[in-house]
Structure 1
């Protein structure tokens, strides 16, 4: 099965990491629902690069084509040239002969974080960087506003700009693995997925001295295989609840309305620090939504802190359930 992790919440999906952490509060967080309620989540492509988005118009396209195939199509295999079938068999044998890729265990990104009762938590996230143009400007705004955010970094960019990654970490922001090539992981097998993550892990280790546990799938494209890889390797797969559409040229005014309308406690806002020619608008938007959300009582946290608060919330709910039981 292939689906999209995206940021549209369906009817009844509560976004309640407000961490109104009263005893007995067993509601799921926005992040928890984002990760678990995939079947009822409306699909959206996180196609930050226009040419990539066109190429990635649906991780389930092949499956849909197969479902719609005519019965007579199966007979075409009998007329496939023997040479082609032999070549395919050879490719399959070669793939089977590739040694399995093993991921290292994450070594960073598990902070102890305790939210106050009634806190409304929200996480700002930036994809596809780093670079030497927009990422430094975003870091300056965050520092001036005393806001911590989370950067999901692409390996090819991380390799070019390790100094910027070091600055991100030095400023106290969270980081996550966004693959090496910005690959559509839903179209890759287990070994290929692991290689995309592993190569970027090594660059993180070299730049900041640890391997992050957060993983974000490019385009929000998620498969059963990817979920298994993430779970078995003690990683956290992270989506979003608000897509600013900054990669697609949305105006500052439109993005500001979008964020203010769709922000919820426990939410995750998607922006970019590289990967589009429109990111000047992101730089203009950032201080505006920081002010807007603060005025509404939100506390800005990293995704790791959001996860830690969720875990405490769940633990408190379980304890209350045992007490009442």
Structure 2
């Protein structure tokens, strides 16, 4: 007899299939080999250029400022989805949450994974569908190392102001892809630029995901140099804090170098990076 959990999973997958359309998803599998565990992975991939993005407002408004204090989300064991955006999470023993946006990237994501593996810590990767569809092996590598794979939309538009169908497609297509590759749809989502509105939050919840923000911005997206990135993380870190960094969306050599420097120092200070759990 099917359990309640089985019924919820079946209902959720049917919703994702309705969002994407079986024909479009099948075409993606045929083109990129998504879900074909026996297919060859790309061997040599030229480094992609930074993805065009919407015109950016002034720097002060580009990244929405995190709200102070904690949300109603209670960390591991809490039932998803939650409507409130999580900027910090209830955590014990100086737990912190490293997150990486805009991947997966064929060069930088594996480098970040190696550093995290070396130090035996786990993180959360908010992936973009149009990047992930070409590298299903990287999605599997992230998950197999025990990291959380989460939704960062399909093509990185600013969700605020988009029509409902476009918001649903951006989030739904990426959830369906992750479900297809890993066998489970994501429980977490982050809006590009951190920009949520009531409509996008409602659709995020409708698709079974809790929205996630950040409390500490590494500022790596400004390419300020590895030392400045590391200083931003170490200066802003607090127990339960969510840290924003990037493994894709542009050249991320500085991010990799900064992580190699600041992660041992976080561990020496008694912090324990863990993935965000619904």
Q: Distance in 2 between matches of 1:50 and 1:181?
A: 9
Task: List per-residue Cα deviations over 1:290-319 (Å, max 9, x = no partner).
Answer: 112112211111111xx5xxxxxxxxxxxx
Give the C-alpha shift of residue 130 in structure 1: 0.5
Q: Distance in 2 between matches of 1:228 and 1:254?
A: 36
Aligned equivalent of 2:256: 283
Aligned equivalent of 1:300: 273
Aligned pairs for 1:44-55 (under 5 A) are 52=53, 55=55
Determine which structure has more spread, i.e. the larger CA radius of gyration: 1
Aligned equivalent of 1:186: 160
Give the C-alpha shift of residue 180 in structure 1: 0.5
List structure 1 runs of 4+ shifted beyond 2 angstroms. 49-53, 110-113, 115-118, 230-234
Q: Distance in 1 between matches of 2:227 and 2:103?
A: 24
Give the C-alpha shift of residue 116 in structure 1: 11
| Kept in 1: contact 2:218–2:243 (CA 8 A) | yes
Task: List per-residue Cα deviations over 1:46-86 (Å, max 9, x = no partner).
Answer: xxx69526x1327xx9xxxxxxxxxxxxxxxxxxxxxxxxx
Aligned equivalent of 1:158: 132
Determine helix, strand or coil for the equivalent of 2:196. Answer: strand
| Kept in 1: contact 2:140–2:181 (CA 8 A) | yes
Determine helix, strand or coil for the equivalent of 2:248. Answer: coil
Give the C-alpha shift of residue 232 in structure 1: 3.6
Alignment of 1:243 with 2:244, yes or no, is no
Q: Distance in 1 between matches of 2:98 and 2:142?
A: 14
Q: 2:115 aligns with which of 141, 149, 153?
A: 141
Give the C-alpha shift of residue 112 in structure 1: 4.6
Q: Distance in 1 between matches of 2:90 and 2:224?
A: 35
Q: Distance in 1 between matches of 2:131 and 2:97?
A: 23
TM-score by length of 1: 0.59
TM-score by length of 2: 0.68
Unpaired segments of 5 or more residues in structure 1?
A: 1-48, 62-109, 308-325
Q: Distance in 2 between matches of 1:51 and 1:137?
A: 24
Aligned equivalent of 1:207: 181
Which structure shows the higher helix fraction? 1
Aligned equivalent of 1:267: 241
Q: Distance in 2 between matches of 1:241 and 1:163?
A: 30
Give the C-alpha shift of residue 266 in structure 1: 0.9
Aligned equivalent of 2:71: none
- How many aligned positions are there? 204
| Kept in 2: contact 1:177–1:197 (CA 8 A) | yes
**RMSD between aligned alpha carbons?**
2.4
Give the C-alpha shift of residue 233 in structure 1: 3.7
Q: Distance in 2 between matches of 1:203 and 1:50?
A: 20
Aligned equivalent of 1:30: none
| Kept in 2: contact 1:155–1:178 (CA 8 A) | yes
